[in-house]
Amino acid sequence: MIVGLDTNFLAYAEGLNDQERQERAISIIDLLMPENVRLPVQALGELHRVLTKKMNLNGSDARAAILRWENLFPTCDTTPSALNSAMDLSADHKFSIWDALILCVAAENGCQILLSEDMQNGFVWRGVTIVNPFALSTHEVAELFH
């Protein structure tokens, strides 16, 4: 099972909002095998913005956090075909272009699941199902990966 991670999931793992979500995100990360995870570069760019604007980290600390994620999991670049698909997805299903881009990059890179709290839970696009891991029990999340 190849799993993509959305920006909000990464931000919670970094401590955005509350400790309960951070602990939950970290426990889910512990269930994942690094070779089965894909990080859209778009999500990392958005995470940098969250870290510097919402969490008030300085640029160096935000960069260090992004580098930790890059060292933990494989990254996936945005391609012109992903951008074109994202524009269609945005127009057809009312996704923001940035969320659509993350979903399309996940699809291009063989993800079956995209963990995201703020996209449409259960929505399927080109074989990728959006799953809100905070709406499931720990057991249900673990079952997804086996």
Whole-angstrom distance, CA of residue 125 vs CA of residue 77: 18
**Cβ atoms of residues 14 and 55 within 8 Å:** yes
**Cβ atoms of residues 24 and 38 within 8 Å:** no
Residue 137: per-residue pLDDT: 85
pLDDT digits (tens, 9 = 90+) for 63-117: 999 999 999 999 999 999 999 999 999 999 999 999 999 999 999 999 999 999 9
**Cβ atoms of residues 91 and 102 within 8 Å:** no
* List of E strands, the chain: 3-5, 37-40, 75-76, 113-115, 124-125, 128-131
Q: At residue 71, what are phi and psi to the nearest 5 degrees?
A: -80, -20
Region 27-51: mean pLDDT is: 96
- Asked whether the predicted pLDDT for residue 55 surpasses 90, the reply is yes
Whole-angstrom distance, CA of residue 112 vs CA of residue 129: 6
The pTM assigned to this predicted structure is: 0.94
- Asked whether the predicted pLDDT for residue 146 surpasses 80, the reply is no
State the chain's mean pLDDT as an integer.
Answer: 95
Q: What is the CATH number of domain 3-144?
A: 3.40.50.1010
Amino acid at 144: L
Residue 139: per-residue pLDDT: 83
pLDDT digits (tens, 9 = 90+) for 110-144: 999 999 998 999 999 999 999 999 998 878 888 88
Residue 90: per-residue pLDDT: 96
Locus of tokens 């979500």: 21
pLDDT digits (tens, 9 = 90+) for 3-33: 999 999 999 999 998 899 999 999 999 999 9
Query: Could you tell me the residue ranges of all domains in the chain?
Result: 3-144
End-to-end CA distance of the chain: 8
**Cβ atoms of residues 120 and 99 within 8 Å:** no
